[in-house]
Structure 1
Amino acid sequence: MSGIELANVSKSFDTTEVIRGVSLTVDKGELGVFVGPSGCGKSTLLRMIAGLEETTSGRISIGDRDVTRIEPAEREVAMVFQSYALYPHLSVFDNMAFSLRLARASKAQTRDMVQEAARILQLEEHLDKKPAQLSGGQRQRVAIGRAIVRQPKVFLFDEPLSNLDAELRVQMRLELARLHRRIGATMIYVTHDQVEAMTLADRIFVLRNGMVQQQGAPLELYNDPDNRFIGGFIGSPAMNFLDGHVTAQNDAGIEVAVDGADGQRLHARLASKRVTGDRVTLGLRPEHLHPNADGLRVRMEMVEALGGVSYLHTRTPDGTELVVEYRGAQPPADSTGIAVGIDPANVVVFDSQGRRLR
């Protein structure tokens, strides 16, 4: 297997630049996930690595080889799409064997490679069936098996679970994670679902407007976002944001008067110097908020009671929504107001432009 390196890669359609100078590395054997909102360029970037989109500028390397201008068939990559793209008239075995036959592999080699892929994907009992006789998850496994038998250097997945229902998506996520551990291949996976990204990735690359906003291990991005967009995009429920202005600072951090909260203040750890009156945004994860009689007063709007955990949907006096995670058998009644507090160490601070302050 080989790693992947992109060096200042750009892509334009006529005068519209959709990928803007992206540089990144997916190490050998790593599962990298491209995640971001619709239209951010993640699928275009994946197709450029596969050779299905021409690179306007920059360099794409797989292993030690520059593949920027090399034809897709010569890049030694295998791609799994959102649609299964199976031949309906062929059996599972024949679908998986198709590329091997095109490559003129021997019958014995074809049989052995298909059976090994079927064993890995638990498809051995289905090799004689047609795609119409399979469930959605089984069809997607056949599509993955078709990629495995080619023994590529890199696997590319373009939102492969989008057509599956919620329960099957969870199951297939686990199967893909197990597959990656079993074969140790270099993989890039594209999704708009940040939960999928968090559960699958060794490293996440968050894209926005054709640029990588931040990259890192899932919990690194969750706990230490570089900007407000990352803080709000990574995590479910999303990070809460409260605007305000700095009223004081000492060695322990800053005090912030929250907008429209009747003079109520929150504290945050911060090393960089601020000036009294500076506008800032505080980022608060739902699980870090807790009932506190001296905390921020909020009114209850709705409770999502999910069993062991509930999400309290509240609003501050000026109408800003604040989601609070509550662990316990009986959440507070949704007709009451509560006060919530937070440890200053768990407050993330952004400037007025959305940039992280540390």
Structure 2
Amino acid sequence: MGVSLRNVSKEFGAARVIEDVSMDIPTGGFAVFVGPSGCGKSTLLRMIAGLEETSGGTIAIEDTDVTHVEPAERGVAMVFQSYALYPHLSVFDNMAFSLRLAKTPRAKMREMVREAARILKLDDHLDKKPSQLSGGQRQRVAIGRAIVRQPKVFLFDEPLSNLDAELRVQMRLELTRLHRQIGATMIYVTHDQVEAMTLADKIFVLKGGIVQQAGAPLDLYDDPDNRFVAGFIGSPAMNFIAADVIGRDAGDVVLRTRGAEAHEFRAAVADPGLATGAEVEIGIRPEHLRLDAAGMPVRVEVAEELGDVSYLYTRMADGTEIIVERHGSRDRLDGETVSIATDPRHVLVFDRQGQRLR
């Protein structure tokens, strides 16, 4: 196993910021820790790196307990949000810095740096100073400095947050290619769920120092365990509507939205504990809604046209915002009232505590 955590916790004084976290990341896997600011994702990464001591539990890398091992001896390399390059050194010397400290023979050092430069397409920039490079190139130098150390595990702490939107997309693709090429275990921290969805083969969603759910990106998208994960994963975010259970029909739960203009939805939920009269919240993703004359009326406030796809930002009579995704239509609907509907299999139901009912 590449990285294993067992009942790991972290306390700063009386504040407990990591709560009994256990996880397994296979050798060669690409895991992403995602969540809002302050959820504990960077702290957890620093604990794996050895930059933060654990308050409880164990951390193992390649089946070796490293809980109390010094950072330099854990076999990890970390890439930070800031490039942390030496401005007076060339790209070659920046990438070779750790090898010089380790007294690596010159011929071997040149071979290792040039191989990393080839992988990262930095061959033509080895003699340049960091100031002569673009932001994306500087970040690749920082990654190259990690590659030459040949670590067991790469740790990335929001490495793309300083880049502009176009460079972020480019670097996401480059990181995916890099992972496939070198096959190393990688753990990546971000607050951007789009980065998480596009990079990871396994996502860990954190909130308040607790892993809310872990799994493959599309598994979390299609089958969230709770309201937090459902709302955090997906862009635009899932729509949520307050409703009451009014009965069952043909195996579906029948729900009625609250307010003066109540509307019925059906959900394919088998949970026998979902009793008539229960207060719940239903979740529907924008792409699962369609315009339907027999559906629920909503007023279109803004239509965001993006070419082949458009997003209708609408409101129900009680003020609840509903986003509807459309494809192929060029009709302008700003200010109009339309009706929307969905299929029962696309309606998720959450109890008052935010837990998913299946």
- Matched to 2:284, the amino acid is L
Q: Does the Cα contact within 8 Å between 1:300 and 1:315 map onto a contact in 2?
A: yes
Greater Cα shift, 197-206 or 275-284: 275-284
Deviation at 1:251, TM superposition (A): 4.2
Partners of 1:216 and 1:340 lie apart in 2 by: 31
| Local SS of the residue matching 1:85 | coil
Counting matched residue pairs gives 357
Partners of 1:268 and 1:69 lie apart in 2 by: 50
Q: Give the match for residue 198 of structure 1.
A: 197
Partners of 2:58 and 2:249 lie apart in 1 by: 48
Q: Give the match for residue 117 of structure 1.
A: 116
Partners of 1:263 and 1:349 lie apart in 2 by: 17
Q: Does the Cα contact within 8 Å between 1:293 and 1:339 map onto a contact in 2?
A: yes
- Equivalences for residues 109-188 of structure 1 within 5 A: 109-188=108-187
Deviation at 1:332, TM superposition (A): 3.8
Q: Give the match for residue 280 of structure 1.
A: 280
Partners of 1:255 and 1:3 lie apart in 2 by: 46
Q: Give the match for residue 82 of structure 1.
A: 81
Deviation at 1:174, TM superposition (A): 0.3
| Local SS of the residue matching 1:179 | helix
1:315 aligns with 2:318: no
Q: Does the Cα contact within 8 Å between 1:305 and 1:331 map onto a contact in 2?
A: no
1:250 aligns with 2:249: yes
User: Structure 2 length as normaliser, TM-score?
Assistant: 0.99
Greater Cα shift, 272-281 or 37-46: 272-281
- Matched to 1:62, the amino acid is I
Partners of 1:259 and 1:106 lie apart in 2 by: 73
- Matched to 2:29, the amino acid is E
| Local SS of the residue matching 2:304 | strand
Partners of 1:176 and 1:329 lie apart in 2 by: 35
Partners of 1:251 and 1:73 lie apart in 2 by: 62
Q: Give the match for residue 220 of structure 1.
A: 219
Q: Name segments (4+ residues, structure 1) moved above 3 Å.
A: none
Deviation at 1:275, TM superposition (A): 1.6
- Matched to 2:187, the amino acid is I
- Matched to 2:145, the amino acid is R
User: Structure 1 length as normaliser, TM-score?
Assistant: 0.99
Deviation at 1:23, TM superposition (A): 0.3
| Local SS of the residue matching 1:247 | strand
Deviation at 1:260, TM superposition (A): 1.7
Deviation at 1:263, TM superposition (A): 2.7
Deviation at 1:335, TM superposition (A): 1.7
| Local SS of the residue matching 1:231 | helix
Greater Cα shift, 91-100 or 268-277: 268-277
Task: State percent identity of aligned pairs.
Answer: 66
Partners of 2:64 and 2:262 lie apart in 1 by: 61
Partners of 1:331 and 1:88 lie apart in 2 by: 54
Greater Cα shift, 243-252 or 27-36: 243-252
Q: 1:254-276 deviations in whole A, cap 9, x for unaligned?
A: 11110125131111111112221
Partners of 2:69 and 2:187 lie apart in 1 by: 19
Q: 1:331 to 1:196 in 2, by over 3 A?
A: farther
Q: 1:192 to 1:202 in 2, by over 3 A?
A: same
Q: Does the Cα contact within 8 Å between 1:307 and 1:329 map onto a contact in 2?
A: no
Q: Give the match for residue 305 of structure 2.
A: 305
Greater Cα shift, 329-338 or 233-242: 329-338
- Matched to 1:112, the amino acid is E
Q: Does the Cα contact within 8 Å between 1:31 and 1:187 map onto a contact in 2?
A: yes
Deviation at 1:205, TM superposition (A): 0.1
Deviation at 1:280, TM superposition (A): 1.0
Deviation at 1:329, TM superposition (A): 3.9
| Local SS of the residue matching 2:53 | coil
1:31 aligns with 2:61: no
| Local SS of the residue matching 1:99 | helix
Partners of 1:188 and 1:71 lie apart in 2 by: 19
Q: Give the match for residue 328 of structure 2.
A: 328
Deviation at 1:252, TM superposition (A): 2.1
Partners of 1:6 and 1:251 lie apart in 2 by: 45
Partners of 2:329 and 2:221 lie apart in 1 by: 27
Partners of 1:7 and 1:250 lie apart in 2 by: 45
Q: Give the match for residue 97 of structure 1.
A: 96
| Local SS of the residue matching 2:198 | helix
- Matched to 2:338, the amino acid is I
Q: Does the Cα contact within 8 Å between 1:251 and 1:271 map onto a contact in 2?
A: no
Partners of 1:252 and 1:287 lie apart in 2 by: 24
